[in-house]
Amino acid sequence: MPDIGKLEQLGRRNLLKSGAVVSVGLAAAPVGAFAQAAPVKIGHIDSTTGNFAVLGDSQIKGAQLAAKELNAKGGILGRPVQVLVEDDAGLPATAIDKAGRLLNQEKVDFFSGSTSSAVSLAVSKFAEQNSKLYMCTGGHVDKLTGSACNWATFRVCSTTWILTDGDSKILVDKFGKKWYFLTTDYAFGHSEQADYTKQVTALGGTILGGALVPVGTTDFSSYLIQAKAAGPDVLCLLLAGDDQINAMKQITQFGINQSVAVGGALFELEQIAALPEQARYGVWTFEWYWNQPGVPHVADFVQRYNTAYPGLYPSQRSWFGYVSVHAIALGCKKANSTDSVKVAKALEGLVLPPEIALQPGAPVFRPEDHQLMLGMFPGSVNQQGVYPHLMNIFDYVPGASIAQPPSQTGCTLSYPA
Amino acid sequence: MLLDVIFNAFNGLIVGSFYALMAIGLSLILGLNGVINFAHGGFMALAAYFAFTLVPYVGFWGALIIAPLLAGAVGYAVEQLIIRRLYLRDPLYSLLATFGLALIMQDLMRTIWGAQGLPLAIPDFLNQPVSEVYFFVTGYRIFVVALAILSTGALFAVLRYTRLGVRIRAGNADLETIAALGVNIYLLRSANFVLGIMFAGLAGILAAGQLGLTPTMGDSLIMPSFVAIVVGGVGSLLGSLLGGLIIGVASGITTAFYPAASEVVIYLIMGVMLIVRPRGLFGQEGLFE
């Protein structure tokens, strides 16, 4: 009996020893080292519920695909990348709450995300106060890289100025000079309307009026009565998320789009897909499109996205998310550090390589305001198209050619001493 | 400008009758079951998704009839499993339970049908304006108003002339007494809850026909119905109808002058009503006093 006891003991010890050997061996192997290195954590704050849930979801998918691809190629500086997603429900207060949690509990290295402009402004402020770099994925308000800019904030998606300038001339030339706005009543809409007003007036147009529509409005009938009474050439829709879908449906039901041209800045693949055929129309500025024949790497990216998310095509939101994570990685690589200040300095003037830019131009993060000079794809909705063939792209307009010059954005950057 | 105001007032009537239709179910359940059903919006959306799934098989009209029945069946299960256990407790419990239920339902719908908005196809002949001038009067909106009037009328008749209706009204007035008289009040409350949910379902499908489907569609629809009930008076169907019309028209006319306030104005009306006459226009005394 005691023999057996001894044997057992030996067995256990041997087991422990061999276990130790195995784990040391694993640690020595490069894969194991990678898996055990402390991950580089990106806190991605975005909408998975609320008015922007569908758009936020695409941004998250793009970001996660980028992380997966980075990890397959050695991550960031030999450390794995982790994208930690938190839901902001489209609300700045919730976003700040979640940002605090990501920072204190998860000790994230960087922030990314946001679909709502209001959220992006809040997160930007939070990131600056806590000295963490924030790669804004999808909040468009001018101010973020304008009067409210800061050293910690970079932005992948366009400003509302770039967005509106992408098609303002096309809309005026094609449809007319008398404009009426239906504008979502928060930072994003206000910013868009101010930009269009400047651009259209400069082109000799007149603004007949406009209505500010609260976020989450479902019934647009009373606004549409006002709009129609004004008799505009162009009914400019500056709404976001599900609101825009509801408005476009009712415009069709009332037959308004038969006598008035409808267009605006932002209209997205996800939104068009959610509309019945008769409610798909208008001229808009798209920020990215999956179908760019002849542009290298794009088809390959679409295929990888398809494989990762069967049945889905990348939208501009997917691209924003994808670029956000890759841009952080590029910054880290150039700085050879994950320190936010160093990475921010490295990102200034960084040009996106073609396999990440995925467009004819080579967008650069402008050093003066940290805004990515991405190109615009003005176009119209392909009414009879079947998903994902929902857009007719007219043109590609390089971002730098239409962005406000740095002297006019009102941005001055200063780094912490 | 005058034409503008008239248009907006007229349009407000259409919107208001839809609010009223949504409010009826809520009002029924609040009256007899004593439950502020926060999951009402969830049931609206659920019925609409049922309809979306059914349309390819039974068409729009078939779905309009079957989907509310299915929602009613889910409502029955919910009443049996959750609501029934809370009747004897403070109303706060059922409010919290239905609030939680609303969140669960929303996430379930997101999981099953996706967060992406879906269009609910309605018959083509309904989907156009009836005249060039009154472009905002579409066939569909006329249909919605007609259905709101019809269902309110039918419900009124049921409550007035049938045994079930008489009992529901009696239960509203004094539940203990009718229980003592031998009426099975648990069964009565179940039936009433299911009826309320079916109205929610009908309203949800009609809303989806105009707005399309999203898991969160109930959220934005349910607030005006609460306001309509408070303004019109808890427990009074006529009150809910009138409350819906009042806030619809007020919101419409406000748009003509100051669009940004069109949302706020309905809450202003509710606030004033709560101060001046807390029971609402036709409400029973005591429920909110």
Cα-based torsion angle of the residue sequence A7, A9, A12, A18 in order, rounded to the nearest 10 degrees? -80
Task: Work out the angle at residue A206's Cα, subtended by the Cα atoms of residues A205 and A208, and round it to the nearest 5 degrees.
Answer: 145
pLDDT at A9: 46
The answer to whether A14 contacts chain B (CB < 8 Å) is no
Domain span including residue B62? 18-217
The string of pLDDT tens digits covering residues A310-320 is 999 999 999 99
Predicted confidence at residue B279, as pLDDT, reads 85
Q: For A159-163, A328-332, A392-396, B181-185, which range has the lowest pLDDT when averaged over its residues?
A: B181-185
Provide the domain count of chain B: 1
Contact B17, B240 (CB under 8 A): no
Q: Tell me what the pLDDT averaged over chain A comes to.
A: 89
Look at the block and give the residue holding tokens 């998704």: B49
Please tell me what DSSP assigns to residue A352. P
Element (H, E) at A65: helix A53-72
Instruction: Tell me which residues of chain B, numbers 210 to 239, contact chain A at a CB-CB cutoff of 8 Å.
Output: 210-212, 214, 216-217, 219-221
**How many Cβ pairs closer than 8 A exist between chain A and B?**
107
Out of A14-28, A180-194, A275-289, pick the least confident.
A14-28
CA distance, residue A243 to nearest chain B CA (Å): 10
Q: Nearest CA to CA, how far is B48 from chain A (Å)?
A: 15
Cβ count near B24 (within 10 Å)? 28
Cβ–Cβ below 8 Å for B211 and A249: yes
A264 backbone dihedrals φ, ψ, rounded to 5°: 165, -160
Q: How far is B166 from chain A (nearest CA, A)?
A: 36
- For residues A334-346, give the mean pLDDT: 97
Asked if pLDDT for residue A23 goes beyond 80, the answer is no
Q: How far apart are CA B173 and CA B179, in angstroms?
A: 12
CA-CA distance, A119 to A109, in Å (whole number)?
19
Determine, yes or no, domain membership for B252: no
Of A50, A256, A274, the CB nearest to B117: A274
pLDDT at A25: 40
Check CB contact under 8 Å for B135 and A213: no
How close is the nearest chain B Cα to the Cα of A73, in Å? 32
Residue B52, min C-alpha distance to chain A (Å): 13
The alpha-carbon gap from A4 to the nearest alpha carbon of chain B, in Å, equals 56
Binning pLDDT at 50, 70 and 90, where does residue B286 land?
Answer: low
At A355-381, the pLDDT tens digits run: 999 999 999 999 999 999 999 999 999
pLDDT of the residue at A408:
92
**Which residue on chain A is closest to B132 by alpha carbon?**
A255
B27 to chain A, any CB pair closer than 8 A? The answer is: no
Q: For residue A265, report the phi and psi dihedrals to the nearest 5 degrees.
A: -90, -70
Q: Which residue of B has its CA nearest to A216?
A: B220
Residue A32 pLDDT grade (very low, low, confident, very high; cuts 50, 70, 90):
low
Torsion of CA A246, B249, A211, B130, to 10 degrees: 60
Structure tokens at A131: 């000295």
Q: Does B251 contact A at CB distance below 8 Å? A: yes
CA B261 to chain centroid, in Å, comes to 24
Alpha-carbon dihedral sign for residues B77, B116, A212, A282: negative
The pLDDT mean for chain B works out to: 87
Burial A30-46 (b: 16+ CB within 10 A, else e): eeeeeeeeebbbbbbbb
Whether residues A225 and B8 touch (CB distance < 8 A) is answered with: yes
CB contact under 8 Å between B212 and A225, yes or no, is: no
Instruction: Indicate if the pLDDT at residue B252 is higher than 90.
Output: no
Contact A289/A268 with Cβ under 8 angstroms? no
C-alpha span between B43 and B55 (Å, rounded): 18
Coil/strand/helix, residue B148: helix
Among B116, B135, B262, the residue with its CB nearest the CB of A270 is B116
Inside any domain, residue B256: no
Q: Is the pLDDT of residue B83 over 70?
A: yes
Same fold, A4-158+294-375 and A162-291+377-401: yes
- pLDDT interval class at A294 (50, 70, 90): very high
Long-range CB contacts (within 8 A, 24+) of A350-355: A352/A323, A352/A326, A352/A327, A354/A296, A354/A297, A355/A296, A355/A297, A355/A301
Percent above pLDDT 70 for chain B: 98
CB < 8 Å to B251, chain A = 222
Please answer yes or no on whether A253 and B129 come within 8 Å at the CB atom: yes
Q: Domain coordinates of chain A in residue numbers?
A: 4-158+294-375, 162-291+377-401
Q: Is residue B247 part of a domain?
A: no
CATH number assigned to the domain covering A162-291+377-401: 3.40.50.2300
Residue of A nearest to B255 (CA): A222
> Chain B contact for A315, CB < 8 A?
no
Distance of CA A303 to the CA centre of its chain: 20
Q: In Å, what is the CA distance from A306 to each residue of A101, A184, A355, B173, B287?
A: 33, 33, 17, 61, 57
| Helical H segments across chain B, by residue range | 2-28, 40-81, 91-113, 139-161, 163-173, 175-180, 185-211, 217-232, 237-257, 264-276
Interface of B with A in 49-78 (CB under 8 A): none
**Which residues, at least 6 apart from A68, have a Cβ–Cβ distance to it below 8 Å?**
A308
What is the distance between the alpha carbons of residues B1 and A132, in angstroms, rounded to a whole number?
Answer: 54
| Contact assignment for B117 to A216 by CB distance below 8 Å | no
Topology, domain A4-158+294-375: Rossmann fold (3.40.50)
pLDDT tens profile B4-40: 788 888 888 888 888 888 888 888 888 888 888 999 9
Q: Do A278 and B127 touch (CB under 8 A)?
A: yes
Domain-located, residue B270: no
User: Is residue B285 very low, low, confident or very high in pLDDT (cuts 50, 70, 90)?
Assistant: low
- Give the pLDDT of residue A8: 43
Quote the pTM value. Answer: 0.77
Q: What is the DSSP letter of B228?
A: H
Residues from chain A that touch B121, judged by Cβ atoms under 8 A, are: 276
Residue A364 DSSP symbol: B
Whether residue B175 lies inside any domain: the answer is yes
Alpha carbon separation from B144 to B16, B44, B127, B208 (Å, rounded): 11, 15, 12, 12
Identify the pLDDT of residue B223: 85
- A388 near B CB under 8 A: no
Optimal mutation site among A51, A186, A222, A390, interface B, most CBs of chain B within 10 A: A222
CA–CA min distance A38, chain B (Å):
33
Contact A53 B115 (CB under 8 A): yes
Tens digits of per-residue pLDDT, B154-170?
888 988 899 988 988 88
**Looking at residues A377-399, what average pLDDT do you find?**
92
Alpha helices for A73-141 (secondary structure H): 92-104, 117-129
**ipTM of model over 0.85:** no
Whether A278 has its CB under 8 Å from any CB of chain B: the answer is: yes
